[in-house]
Amino acid sequence: MAQAVGALSALAQETRLQIFRLLVRKGQAGMAAGDLSSHFAIPPATMSFHLKELTSANLIISKREGRSIIYSANFERMRDLMSYLLENCCAEERGKC
C-alpha cells in the first residue's frame, strides 16, 4: 500500500503527470532530461526536481547515454500499480465487471 500511495502522490501533481504521460508515449526510447525541460519550457532545476520525485516513486527509470541521462516510464511498476488498484474489482458484485 505504501508504494501505491507514493506513486499516486507523485502523479498527483500536474507537471509530473504530464511528464509521465509523455514518457509513456515515448516508450522504451524515452527522452533526455534536457529535451524534457525544453518540451515543457521548464527550467532544468525544476525539471530535475520533478524527475527526482518520479524516480523516487519508481515510476520512471534513467540510463546514461554519453553525456545525457535518458528517462523512460517504468512500465512494469505502472502495471503493478494498476493491478493493485484493480485487484478487487467488483469482488462484491460477481460478473458485473
Interval 84-94: pLDDT, tens = 888 877 767 76
Instruction: Name which residue leads in pLDDT, 97 or 52.
Output: 52
Number of domains in the chain: 1
> And the C-alpha cell for 91?
469482488
Cα–Cα distance for residue pair 83/78, rounded to 1 Å? 9
pLDDT at residue 74 greater than cutoff 90: yes
pLDDT, average across residues 71-95: 85
CB 33 within 8 A of CB 52: no
CB-neighbour burial class of residue 89 (10 A; exposed 0-12, middle 13-18, buried 19+):
exposed
Structural domain including 13 reads: 2-86
Q: Which CATH number is 16's domain given?
A: 1.10.10.10
Interval 9-48: pLDDT, tens = 999 999 999 999 999 999 999 999 999 999 999 999 999 9
32: in domain:
yes
